[in-house]
Amino acid sequence: MSALEMSFHAKEKFIQAGLTLYPQMGYRKLSVRVLAAEAGLSSGLFHQLFANKDVFFLALLQAHQSAQVFWQEADAATPPDEALRQFMLAFAASLRADLPWFLRMMDDCAEQVDVVRAHVKLMLQGYFDRIEFLLRQSLPEGTEADYHLRRKFLILTTLAPILLGQRFSSMGILPLTEGQMKRSSDAAAQQQWMDWVFSAVLDKHEKG
């Protein structure tokens, strides 16, 4: 194995260690020493491979996002409103499947961890731009204020309940049993919830 191959392999081991530990520990507690122990490598090698902790975290966050491709482009025959619906269902399913990671990123954003905040902002902007693009195609005669309001409503009613529900549940203040939480997150319940949301978001002014 060449030196370049060894360097790449070592970087991958550090990244895999970070992917395992980050949801549990977050940015501030995830030290180079802890990463090195998890990877089975030395702290000195970490500093040879990464200029600093933020450079490592940027690579870690990008590696995680690359593995989270959750949606395929809809074909041309798919109506825009159905493409939007499919996107939101896939986005919500991806969020639920990887909730500990997303919640940890939210915690680090709240703690003003710049590298995480910048990554989350860029990531969400990409998702929200896609939502707005599909929304504009679904409602081509809408106004700018209308698009802004509908996009906000769609995001808040689809994604916020997942994050807030888990957070409130972990704090012991959500008045739902574990069984009720599980039933509310199954595929049929999510489909029904999305039907309700879209009936409001894609109301095409038939009532004036």
Query: What share of residues in the chain are helix, strand, coil (percent, to 5)?
Result: 75, 0, 25
Question: Could you give the CA distance from residue 199 to residue 203 in angstroms, rounded to a whole number?
Answer: 6
- The residues near 168 (Cβ < 8 Å, ≥ 6 apart) are 174
Task: Tell me what pLDDT residue 48 has.
Answer: 94
- Tens digit of each residue's pLDDT (9 = 90 or more) over 64-98: 988 876 666 667 788 888 888 888 888 888 888 88
CB-CB contact of 85 with 196 (8 Å): no
Other beta carbons within 10 Å of 72: 9
Residue 170's pLDDT is 65
Rounded to a whole number of angstroms, the distance between the first and last alpha carbons of the chain is 70
| pTM (predicted TM-score) | 0.79
C-alpha neighbours within 13 Å on the C-beta side of residue 129: 6
CA angle 128, 130, 135 (to 5 degrees): 95
Query: What would the two tokens of residue 136 be?
Result: 């504009």
Angle between helices 3-29 and 53-66 (to 10 degrees): 100
Closest CA to 46 of 56, 38, 60: 56
- As a residue count, the chain comes to 208
Residue type, 84: L
- Choose between 162 and 53: higher pLDDT: 53
Q: What is the pLDDT of residues 139-167, one digit of tens each?
A: 888 888 888 888 888 888 877 777 776 66
Here the contacts of 147-152 (C-beta below 8 Å, separation 24 or greater) are 150/201
